[in-house]
């Protein structure tokens, strides 16, 4: 079946936009083909820095013929309505009147031959190109069409022949060009197999995955020969693969004079400014080598390219070394007062004020973090943000915290203080390591809780997909710090202490705790914990100890996974539904204690006795945080509860007995809700 090949050749497409553009082009053209009734076998897109390519296989030569009956307006409808129906039909379509159960209507038998695919494709492709949603686009010359960069040519081939297509003032053809430097001459192609072969011969690898594999394999081979290993950096690999059409991997060296600069600085400088890969020695330390990826082959095997890149890197690292040397001329503590000139948020004061609050809160949190040294926590919190006033962090903002730790060590601060400074922003995401050192945990918690409480107080909460202050990430960070370090931290108390440090405003604890419940569900979802189990525990109210909450959730999950738990859940729902109906009908609550003298049946007497014994046992186990034991006490109710529902009629004719039995159902509900709100359990 015929094949469609489209290539859009332009000036360099930013690497970060390439993958999305390829996906969008395939989606838009695919939707257009389906909308036109043109099926196809499959479609693939390929992208390089200069070209966006689409190939669609298995297209038909023409649309399917249409044969369908269409019903129009009633025969006695206004003439305008009937004329509108007639105009919607293909020319010469026969229209008849027919009687139906709802009256006489106009009917038309539409017979329409499918259009040729070759004639339909240009409109679909043009619409897709116009609709492609670039994050940033531009106009050039005198045209009005927009594209990410000026277009140079369009290759459009269907069934081995060119398509009549025009976009942005460019008429499509059957030719393209190869690599801008190594094969710039025109190339004629007839189909995708011809195109792919021609591109490879013209020094263009159209598949970004193939370019990544080439870079990774060549870099690994080159590093092995030099006795080093490549530092793993998937994001940089993706970016570099989007900067070259013909990857040529080379290795350069770092001058010895720069190797005493912190490795994070060298790596960041090489990565951010030059897109170089760092290399590690046998001990995992930064080696004096780097890997670069050029976009062309040279006659001298890349020697001049390497020399030029080493020269540029030397200048970059000289700047970094200058900042390193200058920053150490004064202590980190001496830089902290400069935070008075930095605004944290217009409504929340300066960074210096934030540090004051962090320091007080971090020290208070020591009560809940075993082994935390208050003096070290106080020092670390005071210095945590001071590196924002350094030249190095001004040049490389990504190194905040990291550089503070280096400067703190240089000034003679303890390792615990330095580590807390370095780690207080962590964890930054699900893959980021969570601090475990006591001082680091205190400062990291204080930083995040202060931000959450502050922004909650000024009603700057995340909405929908918008979270400009990364508060979801901060909440997840607090959750991980507590859970992974098994801290018995009452969140509501921590929120209240933080709110007091702001000195004004209403309490934010309950609303912020509800936000934490949602974040906790997100955090636990991948671990297989059901969100309704978390809801069932949170719904009890006042539970702000995450370690205790998770212990209760785990015990609840185990209980519900057992036969006893499943049966009791069914019984709970039955009891709750009966009570809901009867309490609404009677306009009263049956939450009072039953009268044991009105217990007429052996089954209800047995249930009453079991509930009387279980209630204090459950309360005792819950108070001792023995949630597994509490669930076991609940399990003991299964037999008498089952027997009650099998043998006892609740809504009996005797009004007093009926009321007493409803109170017994209320006891069932109360007993189970002492452990969790079973009404929140789904399924």
248 contacts: CB under 8 Å, gap ≥ 6: 293, 294, 295, 296, 297, 302
Confidence check: pLDDT of 111 > 80? no
Q: What is the pLDDT of residues 368-392, one digit of tens each?
A: 999 999 999 999 999 999 999 999 9
C-beta separation of 156 from 6 below 8 A: yes
Name the residue with higher pLDDT: 347 or 64.
Answer: 347
Q: What is the pLDDT of residues 35-79, one digit of tens each?
A: 998 999 999 999 999 999 999 999 999 888 777 888 999 998 998
C-beta separation of 104 from 89 below 8 A: no
Closest among 57, 56, 52 to 208, alpha carbons compared: 52
State the pLDDT at residue 683: 65
State the pLDDT at residue 518: 87
SS3 50: coil
Region 433-442: mean pLDDT is 96
- The per-residue DSSP string of 333-400 comes to HHHGGGGGGSEEETTTEEHHHHHHHHHHHHHHHGGGSTT--HHHHHHHHHHTTGGGGSHHHHH-GGGT
Q: What is the pLDDT of residues 539-590, one digit of tens each?
A: 887 788 899 888 988 888 888 888 888 888 888 888 888 989 988 988 999 8
Q: What per-residue string of b and e applies to 207-235 under the rule 16 or more CB within 10 Å gives b?
A: bbeebbebbbebbeebbeeeebbbbeeee
Q: What is the pLDDT of residues 501-533, one digit of tens each?
A: 998 767 888 899 989 988 888 888 777 788 888
CA–CA separation, 399 and 212 (whole Å): 27
CA–CA separation, 100 and 302 (whole Å): 83
State the pLDDT at residue 33: 95
CA–CA separation, 42 and 59 (whole Å): 9
Q: What is the pLDDT of residues 226-268, one digit of tens each?
A: 999 999 999 999 999 999 999 999 999 999 999 999 999 999 9
State the pLDDT at residue 601: 87
State the pLDDT at residue 63: 86
Query: What phi and psi values does residue 220 have, to the nearest 5 degrees?
Result: -65, -40
443 contacts: CB under 8 Å, gap ≥ 6: 358, 362, 377, 380, 381, 384, 420, 421, 423, 424
| Candidate ranges 96-105, 331-340, 599-608, 672-681; pick with highest mean pLDDT | 331-340
Q: What integer best gives the mean pLDDT of the chain?
A: 92
Residue 90's pLDDT band, with cuts at 50, 70 and 90, is: confident
Region 183-209: mean pLDDT is 96
Query: What phi and psi values does residue 316 have, to the nearest 5 degrees?
Result: -60, -45
State the pLDDT at residue 342: 95
Closest among 207, 201, 210, 141 to 176, alpha carbons compared: 201
- The predicted model scores a pTM of 0.81
Weakest-pLDDT range from 195-199, 326-330, 396-400, 534-538? 534-538
State the pLDDT at residue 437: 97
Q: What is the pLDDT of residues 454-510, one digit of tens each?
A: 999 999 999 888 999 999 999 999 999 999 999 999 999 999 999 999 987 678 888
Retrieve residue 669's tokens: 């509900």
State the pLDDT at residue 672: 85
CA–CA separation, 310 and 313 (whole Å): 5
Element (H, E) at 226: helix 208-226
Confidence check: pLDDT of 278 > 80? yes
Distance of CA 268 to the CA centre of its chain: 24
């Amino acid at each position: 079946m015929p094949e469609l090949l489209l290539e859009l050749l332009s000036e360099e497409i930013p690497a970060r936009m390439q993958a999305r553009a390829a996906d969008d082009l395939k989606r838009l053209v695919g939707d257009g083909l389906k909308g036109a009734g043109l099926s196809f076998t499959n479609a693939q897109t390929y992208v390089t820095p200069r070209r966006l390519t689409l190939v669609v296989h298995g297209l038909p030569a023409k649309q399917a013929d249409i044969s369908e009956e269409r019903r129009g307006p009633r025969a006695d409808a206004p003439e305008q309505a009937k004329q509108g129906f007639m105009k919607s039909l293909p020319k010469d379509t026969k229209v008849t009147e027919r009687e139906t159960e709802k009256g006489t209507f106009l009917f038309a038998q539409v017979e329409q031959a499918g259009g040729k695919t070759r004639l339909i494709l240009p409109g679909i492709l043009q619409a897709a190109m116009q609709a492609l949603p670039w994050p940033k686009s531009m106009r050039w010359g005198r045209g009005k069409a927009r594209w990410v960069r000026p277009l140079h040519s369009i290759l459009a081939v269907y069934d081995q022949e060119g398509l009549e297509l025009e976009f942005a003032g460019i008429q499509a053809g059957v030719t393209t060009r190869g690599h801008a430097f190594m094969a710039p001459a025109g190339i004629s192609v007839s189909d995708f197999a011809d195109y792919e072969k021609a591109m490879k011969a013209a020094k263009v690898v159209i598949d970004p995955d193939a370019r990544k594999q080439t870079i990774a394999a060549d870099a690994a081979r080159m590093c092995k020969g030099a006795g080093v290993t490549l530092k793993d950096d998937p994001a940089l690999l993706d970016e570099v693969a989007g900067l070259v059409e013909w990857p040529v991997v080379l290795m350069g060296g770092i001058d010895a004079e720069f190797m005493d600069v912190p490795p994070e600085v060298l790596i960041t400088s090489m990565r951010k400014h030059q897109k170089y890969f760092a290399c590690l020695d046998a001990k995992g330390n930064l080696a004096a080598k780097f890997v670069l990826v050029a976009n062309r082959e040279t006659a001298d095997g890349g020697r001049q390219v390497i020399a030029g890149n080493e020269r540029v890197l030397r200048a970059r690292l000289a700047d970094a070394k200058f900042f390193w040397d200058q920053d150490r001329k004064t202590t980190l503590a001496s830089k902290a007062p400069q935070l008075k000139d930095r605004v944290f948020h217009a409504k929340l004061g300066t960074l210096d004020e934030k540090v004051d609050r962090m320091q007080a809160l971090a020290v208070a949190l020591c009560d809940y973090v075993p082994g935390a040294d208050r003096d070290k926590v106080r020092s670390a919190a005071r210095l945590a943000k001071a590196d924002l006033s350094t030249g190095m962090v001004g040049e490389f903002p990504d190194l905040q915290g990291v550089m503070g730790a280096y400067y703190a060590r240089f000034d003679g601060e303890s390792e615990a203080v330095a580590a807390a400074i370095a780690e207080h922003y962590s964890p930054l995401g699900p893959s980021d390591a969570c601090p475990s050192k006591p001082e680091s945990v205190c400062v990291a918690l204080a930083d995040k809780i202060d931000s959450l409480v502050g922004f909650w107080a000024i009603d700057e909460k995340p909405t929908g997909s918008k979270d400009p202050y990364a508060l979801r990430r901060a909440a997840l960070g607090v959750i991980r710090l507590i859970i992974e370090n098994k801290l018995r931290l009452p969140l509501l108390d921590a929120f209240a202490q933080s709110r007091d440090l702001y000195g004004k405003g209403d309490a934010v604890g309950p609303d912020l705790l509800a936000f934490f419940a949602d974040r906790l569900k997100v955090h636990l979802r991948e671990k297989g914990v059901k969100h309704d189990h978390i809801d069932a525990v949170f719904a009890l109210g006042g539970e702000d100890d995450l370690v205790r909450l998770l212990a209760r959730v785990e015990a609840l999950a185990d209980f519900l996974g057992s036969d006893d738990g499943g049966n009791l859940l069914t019984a709970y729902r039955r009891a709750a539904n009966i009570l809901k109906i009867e309490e609404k009908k009677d306009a009263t609550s049956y939450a009072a204690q039953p009268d044991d003298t009105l217990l007429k049946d052996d089954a209800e007497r047995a249930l009453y006795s079991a509930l009387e014994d279980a209630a204090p046992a459950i309360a005792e186990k819950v108070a001792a945080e023995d949630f597994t034991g509490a669930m076991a006490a609940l399990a003991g109710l299964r037999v008498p509860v089952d027997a009650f529902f099998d043998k006892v009629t609740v809504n009996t004719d005797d009004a007093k007995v009926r009321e007493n039995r409803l109170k017994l159902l209320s006891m069932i509900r109360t007993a189970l809700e002492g452990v969790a709100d079973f009404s929140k359990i789904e399924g």
